[in-house]
Amino acid sequence: MTRDERKVIVASSLGTVFEWYDFYLYGSLAAVIGANFFSQFPETTRNIFALFAFAAGFLVRPFGALVFGRLGDMVGRKYTFLVTILIMGTSTFVVGILPTSDSIGLAAPIILIMLRLLQGLALGGEYGGAATYVAEHAPHGRRGFYTSFIQVTATAGLFLSLLVILFTQTAVGPENFRAWGWRVPFLLSIALLAISVWIRLQMEESPAFQRMKAEGTHSKAPIAEAFFQWKNAKIALFALLGLVAGQAVVWYTGQFYALFFLGQVLKVDSFTTNMLIAWSLLLGSGGFVFWGWLSDKIGRKPIILGGCLLAALTYFPLFKLLSAEANPDLHRAHQTIQVQVVVDRSNCSFQFNPTGTAQFTSACDVAKSALARASVNYSVEGAPGRAGAAVRIGSTLIEAPHLRDLEPAQRAPEAARFTQQVSAALTAAGYPAASNPSVVKMNSPIDIFGEQQLVLIGILTLLVIYVTMVYGPIAAALVELFPTRIRYTSMSLPYHIGNGWFGGLLPATSFAMIAQTGDVYFGLWYPIVIALATVVIGIFFVPETKDRDIYAGDNIRH
> Does the residue 437 lie in any domain?
no
Residues 280 and 206 in one domain: no
Query: Which of 429, 460, 480 is the endpoint of a domain?
Result: 429
**Domain stops at, among 429, 461, 485:** 429
pTM of the model: 0.85
Q: Are 415 and 455 within one domain?
A: no
pLDDT tens, the chain, 558 aa long:
677 778 888 877 877 787 778 777 877 787 788 778 876 666 555 656 666 676 677 778 888 888 888 888 888 777 887 888 888 889 889 989 999 888 888 788 888 888 888 888 888 888 888 888 888 888 888 999 999 988 888 788 888 888 888 889 889 988 898 888 999 999 998 888 888 888 878 777 777 777 777 777 777 788 888 888 888 889 999 999 999 999 999 998 998 889 888 988 898 988 898 889 889 988 998 999 999 999 999 999 999 999 999 999 999 999 999 999 999 999 999 999 999 999 888 878 776 655 555 667 788 888 888 888 888 998 888 888 888 889 999 888 998 888 877 777 787 788 888 889 999 999 999 899 877 889 999 988 888 999 999 999 999 999 999 999 999 999 999 999 988 888 888 888 898 888 878 887 787 788 778 878 888 899 999 999 999 999 999 999 999 999 888 776 544 333
68 shares its domain with 150: yes
Is 448 within the bounds of a domain?
A: yes
pLDDT of residue 552: 64
DSSP 433: P
Q: Tell me how long the chain is.
A: 558
Query: What integer pLDDT is reported at residue 556 of this predicted model?
Result: 37
Contact 389, 400 (CB under 8 A): yes
**Three-class HEC string of 14-26:** HHHHHHHHHHHHH
- Judgement on whether residues 89 and 194 belong to the same structural domain of the protein: yes
* Pick from 9, 17, 499: nearest CA to 285: 17
**Do residues 251 and 359 both lie within one domain?**
no
Based on the fold, state whether residues 252 and 211 are members of the same structural domain.
no
How far apart, in whole angstroms, are the C-alpha atoms of residue 133 and residue 211? 14
> Would the CA dihedral through 270, 273, 279, 281 be positive or negative?
negative
Kindly state whether residues 265 and 354 are assigned to the same domain.
no
Q: Give a yes or no: residue 153 inside a domain.
A: yes
Element (H, E) at 399: strand 396-399
Distance of CA 70 to the CA centre of its chain: 25
Structural domain boundaries enclosing 530: 245-320+444-558
348 vs 358: CA distance, rounded Å: 14
285: domain CATH number is 1.20.1250.20
Assess if residue 351 is contained within a domain: yes
Q: Which string of b and e fits 331-351 if b means at least 16 CB within 10 Å?
A: bbbbeebebbbbbbeebbbeb
| pLDDT score, position 542 | 93
User: How many domains, the chain?
Assistant: 3
Per-residue CA distances from 228 to 143, 222, 454, 551 (Å): 28, 10, 52, 23
> How many H-runs (helices) and E-runs (strands) does the chain carry?
26, 4
Rounded to 10 degrees, the C-alpha dihedral 226/65/18/137 comes to 10
**Same domain, residue pair 310 and 449:** yes
Q: Is residue 234 part of a domain?
A: no
- Is position 239 within any domain? no
Domain membership of residue 553 (yes or no) is yes
Rounded to whole angstroms, the Cα distance separating 67 from 44 reads 35
CA–CA dist 352, 349 (Å, integer)? 9
| Residue ranges in 404-520 assigned as alpha helix (H) | 408-429, 451-471, 474-481, 487-497, 506-517
Does 151 share its domain with 2? Answer: yes
* pLDDT, position 333: 92
DSSP secondary structure letter of residue 41:
S
**Cβ pair 85, 18 in contact under 8 A:** yes
What distances in angstroms separate CA 340 from CA 12, 379, 426, one per listed residue? 53, 5, 12
C-alpha 265/C-alpha 252 separation (Å) is 16
Spatial separation of the C-alpha atoms in residues 516 and 400, rounded to whole Å: 16
User: Can you tell me whether residue 397 is helix, strand or coil?
Assistant: strand
Instruction: Write the DSSP assignment of 44-95 as a string of letters.
Output: HHHHHHHHHHHHHHHHTHHHHHHHHHHHHHHT-HHHHHHHHHHHHHHHHHHH
Q: Is residue 12 part of a domain?
A: yes
231's CB contacts (< 8 A; 6+ apart) are 556
Residues 352, 409 within the same domain: yes
> Does residue 99 contact residue 37 with C-beta atoms inside 8 Å?
no
Q: Tell me which of 429, 462, 485 is where a domain ends.
A: 429
Specify the CATH number for the domain of residue 378.
3.40.30
Neighbouring C-beta atoms of residue 452, cutoff 10 Å: 20
Q: How many C-beta atoms lie closer than 10 Å to residue 90's C-beta?
A: 17
- By the 8 A CB rule, do 254 and 466 touch? yes
103 & 14 share domain: yes
Measure the CA–CA gap between 136 and 141, rounded to whole angstroms.
12
What pLDDT does residue 44 have?
Answer: 54
Residue 98 and residue 52 share a domain: yes
